[in-house]
Structure 1
Amino acid sequence: MNIIKLMIPKINVAYVNSNDTVRQGLEKLRAHGFTAVPVISQDGSYAGTLTEGDLLWAIVENGKADLKSLEGRRINSVIKQGRNPAVRIDAKEDELFARAAEQNFVPVCDDRGVFVGIVTRSAILYYFRDIYIKSYI
Structure 2
Amino acid sequence: MEISSFLLPKDQVAYITSSMSMLEAMEQLEQHHYTAIPIIDAAGKYVGTLSEGDLLWKLKRTPGLTFETMREVQISDIQRHVHNESVFVRAQMEDMLTLAADQNFVPVIDEEEVFIGIIRRKDIIEYYTSNITD
2:67 is matched with which residue?
Answer: 67
Q: CA RMSD in A?
A: 1.6
Give the direction of change, closer, same or farther, for the CA distance of 1:65–1:33 in structure 2 (3 Å limit): farther
Equivalence map 1:80-119=2 (5 Å): 80=80, 83-119=83-119
Per the normalisation by structure 2, the TM-score is 0.93
Aligned pairs (5 A) from 1:1-40: 1-40=1-40
Name the structure with the higher helix share.
1
Write the distance in 2 (CA, Å) between the matches of 1:65 and 1:80. Answer: 18
> What's 1:131 paired with?
131
In structure 1, distance between residues paired with 2:20 and 2:97: 31
Cα deviation for residue 102 of structure 1 reads 0.7
**Using the alignment, how far apart are the partners of 1:34 and 1:63 within structure 2?**
26
Q: Distance in 2 between matches of 1:34 and 1:82?
A: 14
- Of 117-126 and 80-89, more deviation after overlay is shown by 80-89
Secondary structure of 1:67's aligned partner = coil
Aligned length: 134
Match of 1:47 in 2: 47
User: Which stretches of structure 1, 4 residues or more, deviate above 6 A after TM superposition?
Assistant: none
Which sections of structure 2, spanning at least 5 residues, go unmatched? none
Comparing 64-73 and 74-83, the one that deviates more: 74-83
Q: Once the 2 structures are TM-superposed, how far is the Cα of residue 130 of structure 1 from its aligned partner?
A: 2.2
- TM-score (structure 1 length as normaliser): 0.91
Question: Percent of pairs identical after alignment?
Answer: 34
How far apart are the structure 2 equivalents of 1:62 and 1:97? 37
Please, which runs of 5 or more residues in structure 1 have no aligned partner? none
